[in-house]
Amino acid sequence: MANTFASRMIINVLGIPGILLLVYLGRFYFAIFITLVCLLALREFYLLCRIKGISPQFSVGALACILISLFYYRGLESTILSFSWQNIVILLVLITIVFELFRNKEKGTENIAITLGGILYIPILLGGLIALRQIDLLDYSFGMRLTMSLFITLWVCDSAAYVFGKMWGKKKILERVSPKKTVTGCTAGLVSAILIYLLIWKLGYLESSQSSVSLSILDVLILGIIVGVFGQMGDFIESLIKRDVGVKDSSNFLLGHGGVLDRFDSLIVASPLTYLYLKLSIGSGV
Amino acid sequence: MANTFASRMIINVLGIPGILLLVYLGRFYFAIFITLVCLLALREFYLLCRIKGISPQFSVGALACILISLFYYRGLESTILSFSWQNIVILLVLITIVFELFRNKEKGTENIAITLGGILYIPILLGGLIALRQIDLLDYSFGMRLTMSLFITLWVCDSAAYVFGKMWGKKKILERVSPKKTVTGCTAGLVSAILIYLLIWKLGYLESSQSSVSLSILDVLILGIIVGVFGQMGDFIESLIKRDVGVKDSSNFLLGHGGVLDRFDSLIVASPLTYLYLKLSIGSGV
């Protein structure tokens, strides 16, 4: 127990400033980091599904992580060797189903579906973080500020939900999926997410210095709700998968923190939604 | 048996000219027809998976069929309410995983993966037929000729494979997946696909009358191989799914012909590949 606590502390002491530094550096440093996170998280997801007797195609998953991250890095409208994002998705599906023919594994249908489902769940959703960091409205630091705010808000939301839930939480919110989470904890998470976003905004951190873009109070409220509601749902979705498989942590990769998937579960849902919202609200520059 | 034969004949007598007429008409007539095919085939796929105790989300699948067909109809680079194809894929994934939280069904992981896997397998692949028909190089009839040729070649390939396999076939090609298919049958299918494409090409049917586009003999050979090799693989993939589930036909929707999925299995693989090949070989006009 003490050991777990110590290793949790080490991960936090190294992990938090490490991630903030990578967000600050941006460019391919951040993109490569997120690609590695996707590769590790997808591997964990596939290993979890193996417990159910399913044999996903790890190699196709890895190829997809690299290609999709590259698209998020270069822009979703770019091409790779004349192939658009749409074409690559079509090709990945064709490769997966054709490969399965020659694999001689049980549960062929699930093998195909889990291979492809994992690609949609992890690189396609979580890769949204790369797109968010790449947002460039004349001012490359705007993407950095947005990504920084997302990480900080999520961490505060997670911690508030944990502390308030532990201290005052009684009524379970969705016991079937996640037996420990309480209404009090989740509410505290949501309220703190909105408050932190508002604070960051009030401090002027969410204004783009060189362009005319600025977020309204409504934008900031919606970003807070994305983290506070949908980020927490990301957590529930991972719990649903783990409960379905029958394990507690996605792996033991991050000693005491469970696996990579456990650490990035809220971001899997919150990042693409934050990116999509900003794209729709600010428009073409995103 | 006689009854089955009679109903097969009815389906052929009505079905073949019916489909050719729809290909000829093109525009939204053909697009709506393929959308309906996708809806029926996806429903069959989901019902097959139910036999394995999986509960896919039919409503999300249906929504996806409609949206993806609309994109193929209007062009993959178009937008729907400011959402690009990429954004819609991201949203469909988010909707599926969030809905699953509130469904209280067993096998949550498979439910999500099969819902999304089915969307990738059916509308995203088979929808390529709409894109193929919409190919418009100054001359809208070029897409019609390409689609017509694909259907005709596939039908001849299927029939040749069946007849030659039945008459002279001995050695099984992939017995584990499809116990009846023979090396002789599949070879006859491939050879006939190439020959029919070459014949259609020789007759001048594959030249675009108003533009300078014409297919080379290499293009035509590759299109023949797409139908003869990958079209037949589409058939094997569906057999793999059905064998995995433990049924013979995907449904009994088309009396004696099995289900819609059985009839369109080769097209699921051959159409997007034909479309992608033409897009890469002819380029921007496609």
- Separation of CA A276 from chain center: 14
A274 alpha carbon, distance to own chain's centre: 11
- Cβ burial A81-90 (10 Å sphere, 16+ → b, else e): eebbbbbbbb
Q: Which residue of B has its CA nearest to A91?
A: B273
Is B116 within 8 Å of B92 (Cβ atoms)?
A: yes
Does B241 sit within 8 Å of A125, measured CB to CB?
A: no
The answer to whether the CB atoms of A100 and B240 lie below 8 A apart is yes
Q: Does the structure show a pLDDT above 50 at A32?
A: yes
* Whole-number percent of chain B with pLDDT over 70: 90
Q: How many CB pairs under 8 A join A and B?
A: 143
Distance (Å) from the alpha carbon of A266 to chain B's nearest alpha carbon: 12
- Residues in chain B, overall count: 286
Domain map of chain B by residue range? Answer: 2-282
Find residues 69-98 of chain A whose CB sits inside 8 Å of chain B.
76-77, 82-87, 89-91, 93-94, 97-98
Chain B positions in Cβ-Cβ contact with residue A176 (cut-off 8 Å): 104
One DSSP character per residue, B15-59 reads HHHHHHHHHHH-HHHHHHHHHHHHHHHHHHHHHHHHTTT----HH
Region label for A259, one of left (φ > 0), alpha (ψ between -120 and 50) or beta (otherwise): beta
pLDDT value for B227 = 96
User: pLDDT tens digits, residue range B15-72?
Assistant: 889 999 999 999 999 999 999 999 999 999 999 999 999 999 999 999 999 999 999 9
Q: What is the reported pLDDT for A285?
A: 45
Q: Which residue of A82, A125, A243 is in closest CB contact with B280?
A: A82
Residues B96, B101, B104, B108: is their CA dihedral positive or negative? positive
Whole-number Å distance between alpha carbons of B257 and B234: 16
pLDDT band at B13 (very low <50, low <70, confident <90, very high): confident
Nearest-CB residue to B124 (from A52, A93, A124): A93
Residue A246, pLDDT above cutoff 80: yes
Q: Determine contact: B247 vs chain A, CB below 8 A.
A: no
Reported confidence tier of residue A3, pLDDT bands at 50, 70, 90: low
Give the span between the Cα atoms of A226 and A235, in whole angstroms. 13
C-alpha–C-alpha distance, residues A192 and A116, integer Å = 35
* pLDDT score for A286: 45
The span from the CA of B270 to the CA of B36, in Å, is: 19
Q: Return the pLDDT at A236.
A: 95
Per-residue confidence at B198, pLDDT binned at 50, 70, 90?
very high
Residue among A86, A109, A176 whose CB faces B241 most closely:
A109
Query: What CA–CA distance (Å, rounded) separates A54 from B102?
Result: 24
Chain B partners within 8 Å of A125 (Cβ): 90, 93-94
Distance CA(B255)–CA(A29), nearest Å, equals: 58
* Per-chain mean pLDDT for chain A: 89
Interface contact B175, partner A, CB < 8 A: no
Residue of A nearest to B242 (CA): A109
**List of chain A residues whose C-beta atoms are within 8 Å of the C-beta of residue B250:** none
Is the Cβ pair B93, A124 closer than 8 Å? yes
**Cβ contacts of B245 on chain A, cutoff 8 Å:** 109
- What CA–CA distance (Å, rounded) separates A238 from A280? 27
Under the banding of pLDDT at 50, 70 and 90, the label for residue A93 is very high
- Per-residue pLDDT, A12: 75
Confidence at residue A169, expressed as pLDDT on a 0 to 100 scale: 84
Q: Across the interface, do A85 and B86 touch by the CB < 8 Å criterion?
A: yes
Comparing B268 with B262, which gets the higher pLDDT? B268
> In whole angstroms, what is the distance from residue B16 CA to residue B80 CA?
33
User: In percent, how much of chain A has pLDDT > 70?
Assistant: 90
Task: Name the residue of chain B whose CA is nearest to A49's CA.
Answer: B109
Q: pTM score, two decimals? A: 0.93
Q: Taking CB atoms and an 8 Å limit, are B101 and A280 in contact across chains?
A: no
Query: Per the CB < 8 Å rule, is A125 touching B94?
Result: yes
pLDDT digits (tens, 9 = 90+) for A191-218: 999 999 999 999 988 876 666 677 889 9
* CA A96 – CA B81 distance, rounded (Å): 31
Residue A101 has pLDDT above 60, yes or no: yes
CB contacts, 8 Å: B279 with chain A: 87
| Among the partner residues B101, B124, B176, nearest to A233 by beta-carbon distance | B101
The answer to whether A163 faces chain B, any CB pair under 8 Å, is no
Highest average pLDDT, of A13-17, A85-89, B77-81, B255-259, comes from A85-89
Chain B residues closer than 8 Å to A174 by CB:
101
Least trusted range by pLDDT, from B56-60, B161-165, B212-216? B212-216
- Of the candidates B87, B97, B269, the beta carbon closest to that of A276 is on B87
